[in-house]
Amino acid sequence: MKYKAEVKVTLKNGVRDPQGAAVDTVLRRTGLEDSANVQVGKYFTLTVTADNDKDAKIKLDEICHDVLSNPVLESYEIGRLETV
């Protein structure tokens, strides 16, 4: 079966987020929001082939850990697993 999943990759707590700080500055300068505390991460959607939900999750875990994230600096969250 084919499973479609979404993955969010975010920086771990305590890791500096210059990209987020840059957006914060823009929001402050444009008067949109004073302290938005923006954090920037990555968002992936992908499809994996697996026999069942459990295998799909194992495969996704491997893909997230090995390819989509840097486990030293980032953590990932797998959500919305649906068959397609």
Q: Is 81 in the site for a copy of itself (CB under 8 A)?
A: no
Q: Is 83 in the site for a copy of itself (CB under 8 A)?
A: no
The binder of a copy of itself chosen from 1, 9, 51, 53 (CB under 8 A) = 9
Q: Is 11 in the site for a copy of itself (CB under 8 A)?
A: no
Binding residues with a copy of itself: total (CB under 8 A): 32
Please, what is the Cα angle at 13 between 19 and 18, to 5 degrees? 15
Count how many residues are written for the chain.
84
Distances (CA, A) of 81 to 21, 22, 32, 55, 58: 32, 33, 35, 12, 12
- What is the identity of the amino acid at 79? G
Closest approach of a copy of itself to the CB of residue 62, in Å: 6
The binder of a copy of itself chosen from 41, 57, 74, 81 (CB under 8 A) = 41
